[in-house]
Structure 1
């Protein structure tokens, strides 16, 4: 944003379609320190919203959502004044691992060594469990999923997959620095499978030299994921509120 030939701030927009049909426009802007408090933040936000409306209209999107990720108290005040509210909060949780003990799985459940042959099963299970009830969830293509694995989670020794016959019942996919996917299919819940799988995964991480496990989840997750992780010693170390409003 230029005022009198001087750059006072920047603006950027990106967008994606979420699994529940929401077209989310993420509006990103900043104002230089020397120009703060002069109303430029409001002008940048309004300009980004107008660009998002134009883009949505061109794509035939009926009611897009605008998203912002304020960090400072000043930014939070600005977006709240513009009608944005927190719709969900990403939380990062970590736990310091201890030397593992025995892990007992529910009857009929078996953990088997993971391999590339399991990619499709994990992909489909993720889509089934997270696609219908997770705020902000974006359903990647299978090809994108496989690329993520190749880039960040290629060590199958750190994956814990639980099977009932030929059906994937629960899964924990981990890397050395992050656990991106933890899930249990509804038919196998309330049997202690999630806790057992995480303990088994922690044992695998420990065996391969990892001493701190880390993951992200949603504070508002209807499955109660925060309470589950806290019961296993995880603690919240970072919060990222996600603010949105409808066009």
Structure 2
């Protein structure tokens, strides 16, 4: 690791399966201090199996993450992942966690320095300097991580609000009808491409969006859940995509709720949302969650709160312009 660690601490590379349980224990140890909700669909408390899947998703699991240890105990972990957004920006995101009892000693700063230097090496290798940015996440409740990022020059790019419908038994049945001329129906396989296009078009002018391929969309629809479309005659006006989470289906997730521009503000979104929630309840889900940007120009959170969703937390994406050299 570049940058000093306190006496008695050392860094080491990721060693595969044997580290997954230790990293999961670290994350669980951070949750209460950072206000992390174990049921969150954005940043919860991952299991060893989920840590294993995340590690496998990295470009190079051994190169792209490090652990900080004191003796045999893992007290810190950071990892770097990347993706390209629809406007061509390459986001190099680093994710770091330090056990509360080991904070305030410079471990977080040392991990941040390592992450940025590793990202610089990756950017040189990938040739993406013209479009790269440093990225980091922090829940609004994670005050220490937020302070570290702000001090290092990171600034908020956007906020995701996480909301929950806590008890699907509260849904009335059958609920209000859709607007006149609109019919709701399950999305059938021969409608998949049309539904995908509704989602893609809904994000066409939104910043910070990673392109969603049709193949990725089909993979999402292969998961357990319910998907409904709103139809105005032969035209698809909107879609709602809902998925179930193992092992007990709750909280289920409203993955997407998208309505084409000419049908907005008519009640189509509300009708789709309620249909999706009823479908999830029928499949055994007891609660549901979703996220929405606080800068959404359509104020989607007003709709969600009006049908009974409650705010749980806000998750913030921070960014800093890429620089090719120098420290934090």
Normalised-by-shorter TM-score class: 0.7 to 0.9
Q: CA deviation at 1:162?
A: 0.7
Q: Which structure 2 residues correspond to residues 82-231 of structure 1 after superposition, within 5 A?
A: 82-95=152-165, 96-97=167-168, 98-133=171-206, 135-150=207-222, 152-153=223-224, 155=225, 158-176=226-244, 177-231=252-306
Q: Secondary structure at the match of 2:145?
A: helix
What corresponds to 2:144 in structure 1?
Answer: 74
Q: Secondary structure at the match of 2:292?
A: strand
What corresponds to 2:81 in structure 1?
Answer: 14
Q: Secondary structure at the match of 1:13?
A: strand
Q: CA RMSD in A?
A: 2.4
CA distance in 2, matches of 1:129, 1:70: 26
Q: CA deviation at 1:31?
A: 4.4
TM-score by length of 1: 0.86
Which 10-residue stretch deviates more, 140-149 or 179-188?
140-149
Pair 1:60 & 2:127 matched: yes
Q: CA deviation at 1:35?
A: 5.2
Preserved contact between residue 87 and residue 244 of structure 1 (Cα < 8 Å): yes
Q: Secondary structure at the match of 1:11?
A: strand
Which 10-residue stretch deviates more, 164-173 or 226-235?
164-173
What corresponds to 1:23 in structure 2?
Answer: 90
Gaps of 5+ in 2: 12-67, 69-75, 245-251, 323-328
Q: CA deviation at 1:32?
A: 5.9
TM-score by length of 2: 0.66
Runs of 4+ in 1 over 6 A off after TM superposition: none
**Whose RCO is larger (CA < 8 A, sep 6+)?**
1
Q: 1:233 to 1:101 in 2, by over 3 A?
A: same
Q: 1:22 to 1:104 in 2, by over 3 A?
A: same
Which 10-residue stretch deviates more, 115-124 or 95-104?
95-104
Preserved contact between residue 100 and residue 202 of structure 1 (Cα < 8 Å): no
Q: Secondary structure at the match of 2:178?
A: coil
Which 10-residue stretch deviates more, 30-39 or 117-126?
30-39
Cα deviation digits, residues 56-91 of structure 1 (max 9, x gap): 233332031211123532222111101112221222
Cα deviation digits, residues 193-226 of structure 1 (max 9, x gap): 1112222333333444434232122222122111
